[in-house]
Structure 1
Amino acid sequence: MTAGLMPGGAMAQTNSYYQGPVSDHFDGTRFFNPGVPNETRGLADMLKWKFGSRAAVWPRQVPAGPPDKPPARVAGSDGRLTFVGHASFLLQIAGLNILLDPVWSERASPFSFAGPKRHAAPGIAFDDLPRIDAVLVSHCHYDHMDLATLLRLWQRDRPRIVVPLGNDTIIRAADATVAVEAADWGDSVRLGPEVVVHLVSARHWSARGLSDRRHALWAAFVIDAPGGGIYAVGDTSFGDGSTFGAVAAAHPGLRLALLPIGAYAPRWFMKDQHVNPAEAVEAFRLCGARQAVGHHWGTFQLTDEGFDDPPRDLARALDEAGVPAQSFVTALPGTAFRLGDGGLERVAPG
């Protein structure tokens, strides 16, 4: 299950986090995915899933690589990317250190004693993180917005924190001193002289509890940096594929896409929330990126598939689509890549 509390139950009639003008994806109370019906599933569907299917049993510890010890900085267009685990990455490029959806907590949950527990340690020990300049958070589900980690980063480094609309309220409620920049789909935020992040649409939803469903916006990011753009998707469903084609049109020539490939079973329940590996391959084709890295698997058990089903299903989908396996890869936590002119190159842990 996506680590937001489900099902929704009764929704509050006022927005808990955001007040702003009506738009093509905000009705004055809740955000929504344009052009599609209300995709919220209720208690009956959740009970059907939980009592009608059997989840694979994950080992207590899943395979992971040795933890990375990144350099302090990486200058220029030859960037460095480390997979931390689940949807968390460290991107080092043009002298900036950028974290994506950082989660270092043991559980993706509002509780310390219950909820999805980590099956693989973070690919970088927190104390081995270089000074962080910017943090991008795609949405407020617990497996993407980890307040404990965000506050720890703020106390240590005072990074720029960029989030979609409404998510800033959630973070400031935990610590009012945190400076958070909230932006809408289509907005751009300059992180440095050579790096700009653009918020783009994703087809998903949001909630932290039972009465705040879709009160905060969700987004994906395109990071424009020397060497080409990087399309970072936290969570999305496929829909009609138009979100990915729109990214290709607005940001042609992407060097890399970070695409989710896990949390897709059972398909009848998850199809409106998460892509499966075959859809991720089609999303890769539509967005026009030269290469992709698959994430959102093997760390937190959110749904029914086995911990290693996503990379196996991805390999099968790539073969069936005639896409070279080396163009869309998976990695264990701790894996680092050099982003060079020739594409991704795995590097020895620092």
Structure 2
Amino acid sequence: MFRRLATTLAISTAVVMSQKPVFAQGKEHHDGKGFKNPWPSFVSYGFLDAFKMFTTADTSIMSAKPVDKPETVEINWNLLKQKDDHIHATWLGHACMFLQIKGFNVLLDPIFSDRCSPVQFAGPKRYTDPPCKLSELPPIDAVIISHNHYDHLDVDTVNQLAKLYPECKFYVPLGNKSWFKLPEDRVIELDWWETATLQNSTTQLTMTCTPCQHFSGRGLFDRNKTLWASWCIQAQKDGEVQKVFFGGDTGYRAVPADTKPEFQYDTQYLDTLPHCPAFKEIGEKMGPFDLAFIPIGAYSPRWFMSPIHCSPEDAVELHCDIKSKQSIGIHWGTFILTDEPLFEPPKRLKAAMEKRGLDAQHFNVLPLGGTFTVNQ
């Protein structure tokens, strides 16, 4: 338990250590000292807060070895290996989705390592195995990274992908390109609202780097030196457009530390707090979306995690803000990063959808290895 907590805390302490950023362009989210969340919905916590978090967290959950695990199904390889014009989305664990859109194969925040940590002998260990090997996937055209935390940017997985799929390109937020030891043309680095395209003989794939509320850092001295992002993925063929949103890892609003427990997830109270305006902007500019992948886990203790991780209640609001027709909950069921019960995120999600008077089938979760298809 203490080894896991120590490694997680070492990563968490990156929130208070910073140096001059790689980029400082005078934009709202570039402040000359690093990248930042430029909204009242964000609160920054530091080293002492991280220690306080561990004193208030339920360490029995964080240290327990799960007996029951999320449902796992065998991947439908016949479906995944045929190219068609539908959207297919397969959950490979945590925030990793395998997206197939009009013939393009896109991998989002892939992590196939045993631990999300700077080392593989300590740190949060996955309690559900990946449903396949990287080498079993159809050829990958694009890999999209939301930010540089270890559970989203994994060095062993990236190295494998670079060798297995020499034609695939990596799309990353600003400041992350230098981390990749790859040829210049294989890594495309974007700021918020910038776009990049991939083209084949019939289809254009456009990837737009969009805002979200989070932070970055892989060590003690690089907090917020690189940007974090959500992504909008658009495929256009013969005049038909398909749109997918990838939330990566994001918060929605900051719940004050002195909030009573009974109000921490109360939607009426939460609606009185400032919320991140970026998602309504994304919905207005880029939506509606045919499909969205939205984080629903790693949200407790609420006061500490709320600025950077959506609760299921937050995720439902985000789903509405971006105008998503169908959403899938991600960022749960793989690593024990926080102290909410393992199966609580999908239960809270269903309840939050119903409380808002929405059809719970329009924002649900997949079994590990399961595929959701958008038929148009």
Determine if the TM-score, normalized by the shorter chain, exceeds 0.5: yes
In the alignment, structure 2 segments of 5+ residues that lack a partner are 254-274
User: Residue deviations 1:247-269, cap 9 Å, x none?
Assistant: 11101321111100000001011
Q: Distance in 1 between matches of 2:39 and 2:373?
A: 39
Counterpart residue number, 1:188? 195
The correspondence of residues 163-178 of structure 1 with structure 2, limited to 5 A, is 163-172=172-181
User: Residue deviations 1:324-345, cap 9 Å, x none?
Assistant: 111001112100122212xxxx
CA contact (8 A) 1:86 1:298 kept: yes
Larger deviation, residues 189-198 vs 62-71: 62-71
Pairing partner for 1:222 from 222, 229, 232: 232
Q: Which amino acid aligns with 2:192?
A: W
Deviation at 1:7, TM superposition (A): 1.6
Q: Does 1:137 align with 2:121?
A: no
Distance change >3 Å, CA 197–CA 9, structure 1 → 2: closer
Q: Does 1:244 align with 2:254?
A: no
Counterpart residue number, 2:134? 126
Counterpart residue number, 1:276? 311
Q: Distance in 1 between matches of 2:368 and 2:23?
A: 38
Q: Secondary structure at the match of 2:14?
A: coil
Counterpart residue number, 1:5? 11
Q: Which amino acid aligns with 1:238?
A: Y
Counterpart residue number, 2:58? 54
Q: Does 1:199 align with 2:209?
A: yes
Counterpart residue number, 1:328? 363
User: Residue deviations 1:128-148, cap 9 Å, x none?
Assistant: 111111000000000000111
User: Residue deviations 1:158-214, cap 9 Å, x none?
Assistant: 211000011111223xx5778311000010110223211111100110000010000
Q: Distance in 2 between matches of 1:303 and 1:267?
A: 10
**TM-score, normalised on structure 1?**
0.90
**TM-score, normalised on structure 2?**
0.84
Counterpart residue number, 2:93? 85
Q: Secondary structure at the match of 1:199?
A: strand
- Identical aligned pairs, as a percentage? 35
Distance change >3 Å, CA 20–CA 43, structure 1 → 2: closer
Q: Distance in 1 between matches of 2:41 and 2:106?
A: 35
Aligned length: 336
Q: Secondary structure at the match of 2:332?
A: coil
CA contact (8 A) 2:13 2:50 kept: yes
Q: Secondary structure at the match of 1:5?
A: helix
Q: Which amino acid aligns with 1:8?
A: A
Larger deviation, residues 309-318 vs 5-14: 5-14
Larger deviation, residues 5-14 vs 216-225: 5-14
In the alignment, structure 1 segments of 5+ residues that lack a partner are 342-350
Distance change >3 Å, CA 321–CA 167, structure 1 → 2: same
Counterpart residue number, 2:20? 14
Distance change >3 Å, CA 53–CA 40, structure 1 → 2: same
Distance change >3 Å, CA 296–CA 38, structure 1 → 2: closer
CA contact (8 A) 1:26 1:32 kept: yes
Instruction: Report which of the two has the higher share of helix.
Output: 2
